[in-house]
Amino acid sequence: MSKKPHSDPSDGEDALIKDGIAGFLNPAEMFKLRRLALLSRYTVEGNLAGAHRSPKHGPSSEFASHKPYGMGDDPKHIDWRVMARTDKYYVKQFEDETNLRVYLALDRSASMGYKSADIPTKYEHACRLAAAVGYVVVKARDSVGLFLHSEKVDVRVDASNSFQHLNNLLKHLQKSPPSSGSGIAATLHEIAASVSRRALIVVISDLLGDEDEIALAMARLRKQRHDVIVFQTLDPAEMDFKLMKACELFDLETGETLSVDPSALANDYRKAFEAFIEKYRKAFAGMNIDYRVVRTDQPLDTFVRAYLEERRRLSK
Amino acid sequence: MFLAPFFLIAAGLGALIPLALHFMQNKRKVKLPFPTLRFLKDAQKRSSSRTRLENILLWLIRTFIMVLLGVAFSMPIIKTGGLGWFGDTPRDVAIIIDASYSMAYKNGNAEVWDNAMEAARNIIEGLKEKDRFCVFIARAQPEALIAEPIGNKQEGLARLKTLTFGAGSSQMLPAIEAASQALKKSQSGYEKEIHIITDNQALPWQGFARSKTADEASAASKSVVEPGTSVFVLMLGVSNPENTAPYSVTMEPAIVRKGSSAKIKVTSTRTGPPTSSAMTLFLDGKESGRRPVTVPDPATSTGEFTLPPLGVGIHEARIEMPDDNLLLDNKFYFLIDVQERRPSLIVGSATDTLFVRTALVSGFAGLVSMEIVAPDQLSGKKLTDYSSVILCNALPLTGQAIGSVEGYVKAGGLLIVFPGTKAVPEDYKAWVCLPGVPSAVNLVPPMEAKTTLSWDKPLHPLVRPMQEGLGAAELSVRRKFSWEKINESAVVLISMGAKHPFLLERSYGSGKVLMFGISAERTWSNFPLSPFFLPLVLQCTEYGSREKEPFIWATDSLALADYFPDLKGTPSMTDPDGNAVQIRSTADGGKTALIAADLKKPGIYSFSATADSKARPAFAVNLPRNESDLTTISEEEIKSLVGIEKLHIASDLATFAKQTSENRVGKTYGEQLLWIVLILIVIEFIYANKLARRGRDAVLNLKPDSAGNLNLSKEAVPGT
């Protein structure tokens, strides 16, 4: 990789990057992310040779198992030591290494359009997060795909490992602002049904749906041996509920209104919200799903960097 | 009752303000988007009842504040006494004015009395149409200026103008009793008030001091003042009065003889811090001497003057001290009666008077003249020419003679009675002035003849010299009286043996009577031959030569016969200003007695026995000096002393008017309500702030780290 990817416009790769994800990440952020890698904690099924473990046997140097010699097997793989001991022919099998397919499941429900003060909306922040993850994935020659959904999957982009692909993928995000309605659980089921081979599913959503149904959908993804990462994107006002004056709030998804006195409700609201978060935390921990809460007032590059380094550390 | 009821409307409207603001606030609420309302609904379910309660409480506090604010500005009045919340209840007011001469104390340019009169006028003028009033003057005995409540203010003011302060002291207790009695006649529905106008002197309140404890005072006051009667005291005197006054005058010796010198001792009294002053003696209008004197407080001090030789006659004298705020008691008047030594009149036969005559001749070495008359010649004598009349076995006497002698004693003469064998007990009963009446003359058995004299009153001026240097007084008695009765006012000066009276003394009128229990002759005892006889007779005659009191205290009336026993015809008297003093005659036990009225002006009064005779100084009249003690009494002391339930005390007219007004109209509680409003505002501010801060200051438990990991505390999640 070039040492100055963002400083030389003549560089073709950098030019592509700028054209594709310039709307989400600035060069400084991309520079910070360039050496990071998103590793899967489990075996994945790719279509190219790569750095990730595959469930198939392949030409790698890592021994996997023995199998009786059969028709078509290359005699050079016969394990002569085993034959000397057992007088039978066994062939050595080696693990295959493949590339990683990452699917970004991005929520564009109406609630993702919320923002307080001068910070990005949850959707904008989620898009930038998706762009950062996508950039890291493509940079590592892995493939990235997209499921953009609201009540259903609105946009599906298959996984590919080119920056051109990433650029096109992100353009879909730009074209699709938050819409009304939310159906996270249903869309996750839809994703589970459509992605049959083991992959890394990155769910970026505020998860403001039915906790149990969402957990069930997540469990299905895990059952299909997908590695799942959940980034729950939340606004600080949503978490802290530090509104000053009495006001009338309307639900971004249902349009319902409610007059509230924030000072009177703040404590109970926080308790309810914390219970909600805790429920996800427990459920996802039980399913070995990597669950993180992302505040929209948090610097994105810092978060991505901290998260990926922690994940790399834990994967060793 | 409200002074500004208009504000009650404001209070009503104000009560609606918090509610109106609440609704307006609801209308003006900002509409904001929010990702989801599900958590808010959960929170509302949990806190709705509590929040509603808090909101209701806040609303109540705010409404209460607004209502109280309006009510406070409407100046509510809660009447402190009596009935008639909304109407003008008529009232009967008894005004008591302290007329003691301490009211003449100068407070600035005016006397306390002037201020008292102004206050009394204000009270009367301030009465409403249906109100009535009566006026009592507090003196030693209360006087009714207007005895029963009247409504005619003009009449009351006119009578008030005639009022002057008196020459004596005052007592509040009888005055309040009199006022309370007058108010008892009030019609039902009338409020009763007693207004007392006085100075700060403690003296008028001494009558209440009989009650030792507060409970006793309260019980006593209830008997004096009818329950429900409000008593207001206006104390117009100064809080730290100063006064110096000559208090009394004594002369040594008591008898001033022509050509002899005498000393005058003047006692002065002081109220206030110690000070240096001076006393000046004036004799017959001319300054005779001046003495510096330091008068401490509260003790008295004494100044001494030596009289120059004076001629025979009555001399006018006065002691003056420098002017102070109370002028009336700065002068002390008295008379000095300089006499030739007067003879004694001995009544009796030559035999009966032998020992007395011998004693007087040898005792005074011929200096004392005497005259001896037979009992039947006594009625022709002018007894006032004699210093004493000695009856030696002279009874029985004629009624005229007895009357003459008793009149002489009443006017200040001295009668010495030696009994004898001529009289029987019945003869003594015709006398009024004798100290005792004998029942019989008893013969004493020889075995019991010896008896010892005992001094029953050893400090008596007559007896005291007898005890010195004469040894044991023993007598041999053959006869003695047995006493039928001893007069209550008589004093046994010397006894024979244990309790048998030997010498009795009785004051009668201005004079004295000395009566012996045995005769002045040898047939009764060896007393005439004893060493006690001569000095005792001499002491008795000298004792009778006492002067009359050099002054009298101011009085309403004085019986002239007590001072001028030989008064005949129509006398005339003039006061110190030369105005005629009213002399009226009254019947006293069948006799006509002349009474001089209203001797209240201090100074020298002149007297003429007849219209033609030359006037001569008769009395030196002084104001009683107890009023010179201006020791003050505090409001608290009055309250504890008097124990009247509704007692209000003020020290100035404005406060007095306010108190009476508040009692009548009521007291406004606007200020107190404003204070409550202020407290409520503070409470509301703190409470509302606490509720508002509760949301802001709540501890955040949801804290994702930089990698998005949650650090959730256990308490944060219910059930964890």
Q: What CATH number is given to the structural domain containing B208? A: 3.40.50.410
Chain centroid, CA B691 distance in Å = 68
* Residue A7 domain flag: no
Lowest mean pLDDT among B208-212, B341-345, B575-579, B599-603: B208-212
Q: What CATH number is given to the structural domain containing B561? A: 2.60.40
* Residue A2 domain flag: no
If asked whether residues B662 and B676 sit together in one domain, one would say no
Regarding pTM above 0.90, the answer is: no
If asked whether residues A92 and A151 sit together in one domain, one would say no
Looking at residues B201-210, what average pLDDT do you find?
A: 81
Tell me how far apart the alpha carbons of residues A45 and A198 are, in angstroms, rounded to a whole number: 5
User: Which of A268, A280, A294 best probes binding to B when mutated, by most B CB atoms within 10 angstroms?
Assistant: A268
* Residue A4 domain flag: no
* Residue B205 domain flag: yes
Please give the structure tokens belonging to residue A135. 């950039």
If asked whether residues A171 and A203 sit together in one domain, one would say yes
The angle formed by the CA atoms of residues A284, A287 and A293, to the nearest 5 degrees, is: 20
What per-residue confidence (pLDDT) applies to A11?
45
If asked whether residues B358 and B263 sit together in one domain, one would say no
Q: Please give the backbone phi and psi of residue B404, each rounded to the nearest 5 degrees, phi first.
A: -65, -45
A–B CB contacts, 8 A cutoff, strictly below: 159
* Residue B86 domain flag: no
* Residue A138 domain flag: yes
What per-residue confidence (pLDDT) applies to B94?
92
If asked whether residues B101 and B188 sit together in one domain, one would say yes
CB–CB of B250/B317 below 8 Å? no
The angle formed by the CA atoms of residues B702, B706 and B708, to the nearest 5 degrees, is: 55
What per-residue confidence (pLDDT) applies to A98?
61
Give how many domains chain B has, as a whole number: 5
Helix count and strand count (H, E) for chain B: 13, 40
If asked whether residues B205 and B172 sit together in one domain, one would say yes
Per-residue pLDDT for B673 more than 80? yes
What per-residue confidence (pLDDT) applies to B479?
86
If asked whether residues A58 and A192 sit together in one domain, one would say no
B712 vs A208, A253, A274: nearest CB = A274
* DSSP structure string for B194-208: EEEEE-SBSGGGGGG
**Domain encompassing residue A57:** 52-98
**Domain encompassing residue B710:** 6-76+669-714
B639: Cβ contacts below 8 Å, ≥ 6 apart:
B647, B649
A247 vs B30, B37, B47: nearest CB = B30
* Residue B452 domain flag: yes
CB–CB of B288/B294 below 8 Å? no
What per-residue confidence (pLDDT) applies to B701?
66
If asked whether residues A288 and A174 sit together in one domain, one would say yes
What per-residue confidence (pLDDT) applies to B460?
76
Tell me how far apart the alpha carbons of residues B200 and B242 are, in angstroms, rounded to a whole number: 12
Per-residue pLDDT for A72 more than 90? no
What per-residue confidence (pLDDT) applies to B82?
45
Q: Tell me which amino acid residue B44 is.
A: Q
If asked whether residues A165 and A255 sit together in one domain, one would say yes
**Single residue among A63, A98, A133 that ends a domain in this structure:** A98
| B706·A303 Cβ contact <8 A | yes
CA distance A246 to chain B (A): 7
What per-residue confidence (pLDDT) applies to A1?
33
Cis omega (within 30 of 0) for bond into B624: no
Start-to-end Cα distance in chain A: 25
Chain centroid, CA B33 distance in Å = 90
Confidence grade of residue A192 (pLDDT, cut at 50, 70, 90): very high
B32 vs A249, A254, A261: nearest CB = A249
What per-residue confidence (pLDDT) applies to B383?
84
* Residue B82 domain flag: no
What per-residue confidence (pLDDT) applies to B716?
43
Tell me how far apart the alpha carbons of residues B332 and B266 are, in angstroms, rounded to a whole number: 9
If asked whether residues A74 and A211 sit together in one domain, one would say no
* Residue B81 domain flag: no
* Residue A159 domain flag: yes
A249 vs B34, B42, B710: nearest CB = B34
Please give the structure tokens belonging to residue B212. 């030792």
Per-residue pLDDT for A44 more than 60? no
Name the 3-class secondary structure at B152: coil
If asked whether residues B18 and B141 sit together in one domain, one would say no
Per-residue pLDDT for B393 more than 70? yes
* Residue A233 domain flag: yes
User: Which of B36, B52, B711 best probes binding to A when mutated, by most A CB atoms within 10 angstroms?
Assistant: B36
If asked whether residues A106 and A191 sit together in one domain, one would say yes
Per-residue pLDDT for B589 more than 50? yes
What per-residue confidence (pLDDT) applies to B210?
61
If asked whether residues B383 and B517 sit together in one domain, one would say yes
Nearest to A308 by CA among A197, A231, A245: A231
CB–CB of B384/B411 below 8 Å? yes
If asked whether residues A93 and A196 sit together in one domain, one would say no
Per-residue pLDDT for B665 more than 60? yes
CA distance A88 to chain B (A): 53
Confidence grade of residue A213 (pLDDT, cut at 50, 70, 90): very high
If asked whether residues B50 and B107 sit together in one domain, one would say no
Rounded to the nearest integer, the mean pLDDT of chain B is 82
CA distance B689 to chain A (A): 10
**B37 or B364: whose pLDDT is higher?**
B37
pLDDT digits (tens, 9 = 90+) for B255-276: 677 777 788 888 888 888 888 8
How do strand B91-98 and strand B191-198 relate by DSSP bridges? parallel
Percent residues over pLDDT 90 in chain B? 10
Confidence grade of residue A15 (pLDDT, cut at 50, 70, 90): very low
**B672 or B664: whose pLDDT is higher?**
B672
Tell me how far apart the alpha carbons of residues B98 and B168 are, in angstroms, rounded to a whole number: 11
pLDDT digits (tens, 9 = 90+) for B683-697: 999 988 887 777 666
Buried b (16+ CB within 10 A) or exposed e, B598-627: ebbebbbbbbbbeeeeeeebbbbbbbbbbb
| Overall residue count recorded for chain B in this entry | 720
If asked whether residues A132 and A25 sit together in one domain, one would say yes
CA distance A42 to chain B (A): 21
* Residue B478 domain flag: yes
A208: Cβ contacts below 8 Å, ≥ 6 apart:
A109, A111, A182, A184, A253, B35, B36, B38
Per-residue pLDDT for B215 more than 70? no
| A260·B40 Cβ contact <8 A | yes
If asked whether residues A272 and A236 sit together in one domain, one would say yes
Tell me how far apart the alpha carbons of residues B66 and B612 are, in angstroms, rounded to a whole number: 91
* Residue B85 domain flag: no
What per-residue confidence (pLDDT) applies to A12?
45
CA distance A129 to chain B (A): 13
Give how many domains chain A has, as a whole number: 2
| A239·B26 Cβ contact <8 A | no
* B29 to chain A: closest CA residue: A247
If asked whether residues B660 and B676 sit together in one domain, one would say no
What per-residue confidence (pLDDT) applies to A7?
37
What per-residue confidence (pLDDT) applies to A64?
65
* B707 to chain A: closest CA residue: A307
Q: Cα separations (Å) of B695 from A65, A245, A261, B198? A: 62, 11, 10, 67
* Residue A5 domain flag: no
What per-residue confidence (pLDDT) applies to B136?
93
Note the ipTM here.
0.77
Tell me how far apart the alpha carbons of residues B503 and A156 are, in angstroms, rounded to a whole number: 151
Percent residues over pLDDT 70 in chain B? 87
| A114·B29 Cβ contact <8 A | no
Per-residue pLDDT for A267 more than 60? yes
Q: What CATH number is given to the structural domain containing A176? A: 3.40.50.410
Confidence grade of residue A264 (pLDDT, cut at 50, 70, 90): confident
**Single residue among B289, B304, B339 that ends a domain in this structure:** B339
If asked whether residues B161 and B219 sit together in one domain, one would say yes
Q: What CATH number is given to the structural domain containing B471? A: 3.40.50.880
How do strand A90-98 and strand A52-57 relate by DSSP bridges? antiparallel
Confidence grade of residue A241 (pLDDT, cut at 50, 70, 90): confident
Name the 3-class secondary structure at B500: strand
What per-residue confidence (pLDDT) applies to A3?
36
If asked whether residues B379 and B497 sit together in one domain, one would say yes
Looking at residues A151-175, what average pLDDT do you find?
A: 88
Tell me how far apart the alpha carbons of residues B481 and B496 are, in angstroms, rounded to a whole number: 11
If asked whether residues A179 and A306 sit together in one domain, one would say yes
CA distance A92 to chain B (A): 42
* Residue B158 domain flag: yes
If asked whether residues B677 and B688 sit together in one domain, one would say yes
Per-residue pLDDT for A95 more than 90? no
If asked whether residues B470 and B557 sit together in one domain, one would say no
Looking at residues A150-172, what average pLDDT do you find?
A: 88
* Residue A6 domain flag: no
**B46 or B3: whose pLDDT is higher?**
B46
If asked whether residues A142 and A230 sit together in one domain, one would say yes
Judging contacts by C-beta atoms under 8 Å, the chain A residues touching residue B31 are 247-250, 257
